[in-house]
Structure 1
């Protein structure tokens, strides 16, 4: 099979060894002569998977006691609702930053449960930067931010010291770099960018912030329900959890967050170096806020796009067209994407310059 360089924004590339192990488990899991997806989620074999996945998260995040790790369903979009329902008090307010489409969606859902103060936004500038000069109100029930914006290609490089519980949507850059995760009271992330296939959502929550809203919460929407049942209040997405466990093991076995941060830094420097050097292309966001995960760029002459598209497709590159709402190009460089693939794209850009420059 010809090598495909997978820059898909999500569901995204996974390590080959993870895919191999996952495919074997589909046929015969744990030497049971049964498939992973046909055994009981209450079996000791799968309970061990769930427990292992939770422990790997805690190990990578180096979390102190007092946090629970959950694998839920519904994606980050359901977390937009669950966060507000579980943390926004009756008559209280929450503080949000608006840095992209998904942050905007989170704000919209939170408004269903109470007052939401948007304390900073880059919407008027088409989300081309991350706001930095803002004050988090001390009387807010929580502060919500989005660490990486896949559509527009921006990323928070630093996080504020919040006087209230800080919540972060890390769906598209979870486990891509070293962070002081203990600064956050709640983190959530859809698995399908950096951790596994679509179908499960990681939630890490500080236990002490729960149960303070004064509202009745349906069991399925209450984090405490899922904590009490070890993420198995209902049937969990067994395959997505298992592949996430394998991916977390792959990450730790290769050197953890220090290792992947260095690899991701090299990929980003190579990609953005070419965008800045090549006179045919230009980046779309403020340089200091450029995402290591999603490099967004355009051709100065859009009429050249069909020819450029033909060239990168012939090189075995997949998935670099920009989001339909933005256009142009987006090279998503998630953890499992090798440096070699970025080099192939850079070489294509250089050759395109030679032909058209």
Structure 2
């Protein structure tokens, strides 16, 4: 039995053991080819099948309508902060950004280089402890698009439902909660996500974009930064991250085998509950950062109310075999990232550790 760490890292994060073991078996001789997937041509039939299977699995799991392209790009979600306004924000247009944390701030900063974005709503004054209410979201009917971040890894907040933007395309950065639950893709103009939380290793960025947006996109931009370039070439215009796409396809297959997104969502709720219950039942020994209604099921952020005890907690929890529980450097505290591949057993073990640590220090 392989000893595995209790991996709560925020990203790159835990991968399903079954997927890792399958990749290990196929690493040197992929399905009788005598080559690793990392050695073969991205133009060959073997990789093309892997590539297309990954797209098909994503379409099936997410019930993606035909009027959407599924693209596998590079550069992470951070490159999308620039590509979105570069392609979709025309001269004289505005785009509305909903501010819920560091990643929406970075997206807004990049958009200012290409047009006139504005902030629709923000919860910064509350230290990003909550998601804005729908009543707070007022936008202009002529906006090119509305942008938001669905889950905020640093602050531990998540949108549990999305605003209706009508005819204005809603663009969502789902990097840290994509494929964690079913969604209605048709409500969005575009979804994008780095793979390294729920979909596979780092290096692949998934973009699901409505075709009509590509038809109206700006054209006077560099070839590699046009969505249309990648859509017209099935994301194979240049050499893609072949191993990452293979792994992404295997993770999607794993989700199917686990019962699909409904089963994954139920499992994620159970995992998060066991940790949130420990926080809520600690009589103030542990305090969550996010307000209850805005809590993330992917990133559980909390503090030990005594600062010296918090340092001790982080030291001891690491010694006990738990990885990645330090909060983001910008906010401190503790963070448990409970992405799809983190097993319930790891969350229960963390809960047990937290209860015992409190017992010893209360």
TM class by shorter-chain length?
over 0.9
Shift of 1:30: 2.2
Q: CA-to-partner distance for each residue in 1:264-292, whole Å, 9 max, x for gaps?
A: 01011111111111131100111100000
Q: CA deviation at 1:156?
A: 0.4
1:214 Cα deviation (Å)?
4.7
Shift of 1:124: 1.9
In the aligned structure 2, how far is the partner of 1:203 from the partner of 1:214? 17
Matches within 5 A, 1:94-109: 94-109=95-110
Write the deviation string for residues 98-141 of structure 1: whole angstroms up to 9, x where unpaired.
Answer: 11101000001111111111100111221111112212321101
Shift of 1:206: 0.5
Most deviating of 306-315 and 52-61: 306-315
Task: Report whether the alignment pairs 1:162 with 2:165.
Answer: yes
Larger deviation: 335-344 or 116-125?
116-125
Q: The residue matched to 1:248 in structure 2 has which SS?
A: helix
Match of 1:289 among 285, 291, 294: 294
Aligned match of 1:251? 255
Residue 305 (structure 1) aligns with: 310
Q: Give the SS at the match of 1:36.
A: coil
Q: CA deviation at 1:57?
A: 1.0
1:175 aligns with: 179
CA RMSD of aligned residues (A): 1.1
Structure 2 unaligned segments of length 5 or more: list them. Answer: none
* The 10-residue stretch of structure 1 (209-218 or 45-54) with the greater mean CA deviation from structure 2: 209-218
Distance 1:81 1:332 in 2: 27
Per-residue CA deviations over 1:228-281 (Å, capped at 9, x if unaligned) read 111011100001111000000000111111000000010111111111111311
Question: 2:206 is paired with a residue of what secondary structure?
Answer: strand
Out of 203, 207, 216, the residue aligned to residue 207 of structure 2 is 203
State the alpha-carbon separation in 2 of the partners of residues 275 and 329 from structure 1: 12
Q: Distance in 1 between matches of 2:217 and 2:268?
A: 39
Secondary structure of 1:210 counterpart: helix
Matched, 1:352 2:357: yes
Match of 1:343 in 2: 348
Alignment of 1:161-240 (within 5 A): 161-163=164-166, 164-240=168-244
Q: TM-score, normalised by structure 2?
A: 0.96
Which residue is 1:10 aligned to? 11
Take 1:40 and 1:344, find their aligned partners in 2: how far apart are those partners?
44
- 1-side partners of 2:279 and 2:61: how far apart? 32
| Matched ranges for 1:311-350 at <5 A | 311-350=316-355
Tell me the secondary structure at the aligned position of residue 37 of structure 1. Answer: coil
What do residues 28-81 of structure 1 show as CA deviations (whole Å, max 9, x unaligned)? 112101111111010100000110111111111112211110100000000011
Shift of 1:215: 4.9
Deviation of 1:311 after TM superposition, in Å, equals 2.9
Local SS of the residue matching 1:331:
strand
SS in 2 for 1:205: strand
1:113 counterpart residue number: 114
Equivalent residue, structure 1, for 2:279: 275
> Does the Cα contact within 8 Å between 1:86 and 1:211 map onto a contact in 2?
no
TM-score (norm 1): 0.98
- On the 8 A contact 1:71/1:201 being kept in 2, the answer is yes
Kept after mapping to 2: 8 A contact 1:90/1:214 = no
Moved more, 38-47 or 275-284: 275-284
CA distance in 2, matches of 1:321, 1:313: 9
More divergent stretch after superposition (119-128 vs 339-348): 119-128
Structure 1 residue aligned with 2:123: 122
Q: Deviations over 1:218-237 (max 9, x none)?
A: 11000010011110111000
What SS does the corresponding residue of 1:130 show, helix, strand or coil? Answer: coil
Gaps of 5+ in 1: none
How far apart are the structure 2 equivalents of 1:130 and 1:234?
39
